[in-house]
Structure 1
Amino acid sequence: MNPNLRIILIEDEAATARNLEYILKEINPDIEVVVILQSVTEGVDWLTTTVSDYDLIFSDIRLSDGLSFEIFKQTNIKKPVIFVTAYNDYAIEAFWNNGIDYILKPFDREEIQRTLLKYNTLIASDIKIKKEALLKQLESVTNRYRKSFLIHYCGRLIPVEAAKISWFYTANEIVYAHTTSGQQYTVEFTLEQLERDLSPELFFRANRQFIINRNAINAVEYFFNGRLLIKIHPSSQEQIIVSKAKAMMFRKWLDQ
């Protein structure tokens, strides 16, 4: 791995940027994060006015003031880009903007290490990825999520489509799936496992107890101290509260 790798991070969520920088340093302490850019405006300004050498960009897609693709349209970036995002519907466009990989949030150390190895392989062999290979990778990205669950219920196995589950809820170390028809099942997964396995376009981790389906949301109300109260169908006995820290992320997720 290139010991002098210089990286730009384009990410508007400070916690995600810190986590990514920590993982990069953990993988290779000699990696240098040159700058963290938090918006399209900041990205365009820095990349057009700052004379600084770098090798690679890690970029989110949905930023606070637009899509990061606008940065690449307004600058003359030639370096490869690894897109790190919660949305898989931009994958094709990403590969037309110097993208060499597409990582979906939440990411882990293994995924970041894999993509760095891929970058180094491409640089070392001077290989340009063909569009056919990119489309195959896109297919693997978009089809990686769980489509259904086979649930044990009353001595039977019942297939339940993921899209027909309104929300997942955990209590006393048991996880429940509540369907759009009002049926409740227990599932043999933790919320952390479900968060990885479910499509981030359709499902959102609202808090420690709930993962909710976009199509089940009836309304969002302002709550105390910058938090949000989610009204969902079928309704839950427990209030579904999104914290102030996650409120902006939730609103961005819902507004697409």
Structure 2
Amino acid sequence: MTQNLHIIIIEDEAATARNLEYILQEINPDIKIIVTLQSITESVQWLTINGNDYDLIFSDIRLSDGLSFEIFRQINIKKPVIFVTAYNDYAIEAFRNNGIDYVLKPFDREEIQRTMLKYNTLIAADFKREQTKTAALLQQLQSATKQYKKSFLIHYCGRLIPVEAAKINWFYTANEIVYLHTGDGRQYVTEFTLEQLEYELDPTLFFRANRQFIINKNAIDTVEYFFNGRLLVKIHPLPQEQVLVSKAKAMQFRKWLDQ
């Protein structure tokens, strides 16, 4: 077992984080949990300041402010990640973000010990080399298996209305309700969260602009420079609120538009 292992836990459930820390230190008393982070925002701030001064991350996927994959889009993570989650529908995305294993809740000592043995095996075999192999394999797997949503079945006034995904210009969330807006100006409520939609929608067509909006590339009229390095996106039909892309996501957004 690797000695003096420094681990970060990203988990918004305090009891789960404490249980994981207890099991890890029971497996190896030399393991040190250097920080427990509870949100995307907190994780990005900590990792920005502290860099890669750790050995391994244990991360939940669904956090209070979104999917933890957003952390890895904003920060260049060079160390391996073990994802611990109650959901098994994000496996491919997990491995695309430095994931070396995927542990389902509720977990026990045996499961955590198994994943730590895998970690030590990969480190001994050179993590970077194994990561490259895994990335290539997952790219093939994703192209062969991932099917993005092509339509949404909407409950409206006692009826079921099919709405093609490509005809949805943007999704918007307010007061924990997610609305979709079509190109002809119609608005419907969907039961999906924006975090779920990020996974279900074709990423070549849709982009998570911020915490409130996912927008369709075909709905964009213009993009303007805004204050503090942000971008102002003009879309149709025109929403009541401005669609702003943060400075941190501006480069990613521009690359998405240019592909």
User: Shorter-normalised TM-score: what interval?
Assistant: 0.5 to 0.7
Confirm or deny: 8 A CA contact 2:92 2:138 kept in the other structure.
no
Confirm or deny: 8 A CA contact 2:170 2:180 kept in the other structure.
yes
Is 1:207 aligned to residue 238 of structure 2? no
Supply the AA of the counterpart residue of 2:220: I
CA positional deviation for 1:169: 0.5
Partner of 2:57: 26
CA distance in 1, matches of 2:96, 2:227: 27
CA positional deviation for 1:112: 4.3
Q: Structure 1 residues 226 and 195 mapped into 2: Cα distance closer, same or farther (>3 Å)? A: same
Partner of 2:78: none
Supply the AA of the counterpart residue of 1:221: E
CA positional deviation for 1:161: 1.3
Partner of 1:163: 166
Moved over 6 A (4+): 19-24, 133-136
Report matched runs for 1:89-238 at 5 Å.
103=93, 112-114=100-102, 137-143=141-147, 145-238=148-241
- 1:226-255 deviations in Å (ceiling 9; x for gaps): 111101121112111111221112112111
Confirm or deny: 8 A CA contact 2:178 2:191 kept in the other structure.
yes
- Structure 1, unmatched stretches of 5+, are 4-14, 29-59, 61-100, 124-128
SS in 2 for 1:113: strand
CA positional deviation for 1:196: 1.9
CA positional deviation for 1:26: 2.9
Q: Structure 1 residues 159 and 2 mapped into 2: Cα distance closer, same or farther (>3 Å)? A: farther
Is 1:250 aligned to residue 253 of structure 2? yes
Is 1:240 aligned to residue 232 of structure 2? no
CA distance in 2, matches of 1:134, 1:237: 40
CA distance in 2, matches of 1:23, 1:159: 48
Q: TM-score, normalised by structure 1?
A: 0.52
CA positional deviation for 1:158: 0.8
Confirm or deny: 8 A CA contact 1:23 1:112 kept in the other structure.
no
Q: Structure 1 residues 147 and 225 mapped into 2: Cα distance closer, same or farther (>3 Å)? A: same
CA positional deviation for 1:140: 3.7
SS in 1 for 2:57: helix
Supply the AA of the counterpart residue of 2:169: S
CA positional deviation for 1:23: 10
- Structure 2, unmatched stretches of 5+, are 4-43, 60-71, 73-90, 104-114, 123-132
SS in 2 for 1:182: coil
Q: Structure 1 residues 136 and 240 mapped into 2: Cα distance closer, same or farther (>3 Å)? A: closer
Number of residue pairs aligned between Structure 1 and Structure 2: 177
Identity %: 59
CA distance in 2, matches of 1:2, 1:196: 35
Q: CA RMSD in A?
A: 4.8
CA distance in 1, matches of 2:145, 2:215: 22
SS in 2 for 1:168: strand
Supply the AA of the counterpart residue of 1:206: A
CA distance in 1, matches of 2:254, 2:187: 27
Q: Structure 1 residues 253 and 22 mapped into 2: Cα distance closer, same or farther (>3 Å)? A: farther
Confirm or deny: 8 A CA contact 1:150 1:160 kept in the other structure.
yes
SS in 2 for 1:181: coil
CA positional deviation for 1:186: 0.5
CA positional deviation for 1:213: 0.7
